[in-house]
Amino acid sequence: MITAAVVAVLTASYLILGKLGMSRLRKERASLRKPGKLPMVSIIIPAYMSHGTISATLKSANNIDYPRKEIIVVNDSHDSTPAIARSFGARVIQNRQRVGKPAALNMATKEARGSLIFLLDADTVASGSCLRRMVPWFSAKGVAAVMPKYLLKCDSRVSRLASLENLFTFALLRIHMFFGTIVGFRGCSVLIRKDVLEKHPWPDTLLEDNHLSATLVSRDYRVIWEPRAVTWTDEPSTYREVMRQKRRWGEGAYLAFRCHRRFYLRSPQFMLFFYPYFALGIASVAMSLALLISPVFFPWTAPILVTEMTMLFAAMYAHTMIFLYIGGGNPLPFTTLRFMVAYFPVMSFAYFRGVLSGIRRKNKGGCELHFRHW
């Protein structure tokens, strides 16, 4: 009952902070001054073996309702992507050999004519109003980047469960905005000032977006989350693909944490997200292990542990349902249960394996970015 009470307090606290965060976001949005002349935006699309998905991305980029834009495709493979890109009127940078996403982005940024860079992955499509929603934020003090609300193209049961993970993240981003900035953006779609990228180019790391966002926020830049701007991106459609993705994210996140640990350990956003859930995870594992041992050594504790675990699960279930709803979803009870029982443990296990892999890699040294991870 103690852990369930902790979850209830945590839920209430997060709801209050999230409400205050969105109130701050709306007030600041209303105070933004309209630009006299719209800045030029360079839409950069990094591509690697993307001939099957990039047509939809280019079509959406052309359909963005923004008058001053250019489209640049930087291709890291030898396929039909350049011909497809040119058919949509995009400029093409063709690499002779694979250089990786960070290097490709830095290369394209140097060629860009816009003062703002809109990164759009080759499997991501943008809404027509996304730039008009995001561009005004650059009139606010200290804003270096704006991340839209990214939704998933759900084409399988696994991707639909992954979309619930995103909804949960959106609920947490509301809390981030209480502090005036989010501490990490996802690189599938983000709008960044070119002069900032010239000072702080994309790092050649496993999770270049995490590294760059931590670098920017630790230097007193702000990263805004604009939920009215929407993009749609692909996600893994099988558990095997989910595990591969989460393992890479876990490894990259650990290495990013090692590199920016002083910043993260001072960040209230990171502390509010990491410490409570980490403590609840440890408590759940400890109670599960105790329940296995108690019948042998302490039989009288078994009913207490069963009651405590049941109450904790019920509290976490309610917590998850509430946050999925706040994140913009309409979660069904059984789908939420499947997310907690079937998806979340698999994701967490793969992520933890990635963290262990990151620890081993850090001890061995060497280059962080290796193409076998992509």
Task: Evaluate if residue 298 carries a pLDDT over 70.
Answer: no
Which of 187, 21, 31, 197 lies closest to 109, judged by CA?
197
25 pLDDT band, cuts 50/70/90, is: very high
The whole-angstrom separation of Cα 267 and Cα 183 is 8
145 or 346, higher pLDDT: 145
Which of 201, 204, 253 lies closest to 44, judged by CA?
201
The whole-angstrom separation of Cα 252 and Cα 205 is 8
**CATH number for the domain harbouring residue 290:** 3.90.550.10
Per-residue model confidence as pLDDT tens digits over 62-107? 999 999 999 999 999 889 999 999 999 999 999 988 888 999 999 9
Question: In the prediction, which pLDDT does 13 show?
Answer: 93
Question: Mean per-residue pLDDT for 284-300?
Answer: 70
Whole-model pTM? 0.91
Question: In the prediction, which pLDDT does 18 show?
Answer: 94
Question: Mean per-residue pLDDT for 166-185?
Answer: 93
342 pLDDT band, cuts 50/70/90, is: confident
Question: In the prediction, which pLDDT does 289 show?
Answer: 73
Question: Mean per-residue pLDDT for 335-352?
Answer: 88
Question: Mean per-residue pLDDT for 124-131?
Answer: 96
When divided into structural domains, the chain yields a total of 1
Question: In the prediction, which pLDDT does 374 show?
Answer: 47
Question: In the prediction, which pLDDT does 344 show?
Answer: 87
Domain of residue 25, residue span: 1-374
Question: Mean per-residue pLDDT for 227-234?
Answer: 93
340 close to 319: Cβ distance less than 8 angstroms: no
Per-residue model confidence as pLDDT tens digits over 246-265? 998 998 888 899 899 999 99
371: amino acid identity, one letter: F
- The angle, 0 to 180 degrees and rounded to 10, between the axes of the packed helices 208-218 and 101-111 is 60
Helix or strand run (H / E) with residue 125? strand 124-126
349 or 361, higher pLDDT: 349
Question: In the prediction, which pLDDT does 72 show?
Answer: 97
Question: In the prediction, which pLDDT does 119 show?
Answer: 97
303 contacts: CB under 8 Å, gap ≥ 6:
none
In the chain, the percentage of residues whose pLDDT exceeds 70 is 93
What order do you get walking across the sheet with 222-233 strand by strand? 91-94, 69-75, 41-47, 116-120, 189-193, 143-152, 222-233, 124-126
Lowest mean pLDDT among 86-100, 146-160, 301-315: 301-315
The whole-angstrom separation of Cα 6 and Cα 315 is 9
The SS3 assignment for 149 reads strand
Which of 64, 9, 49 lies closest to 318, judged by CA?
9
Which of 91, 66, 42 lies closest to 197, judged by CA?
42
Per-residue model confidence as pLDDT tens digits over 41-60? 999 999 999 988 999 999 99
Task: Evaluate if residue 302 carries a pLDDT over 70.
Answer: no
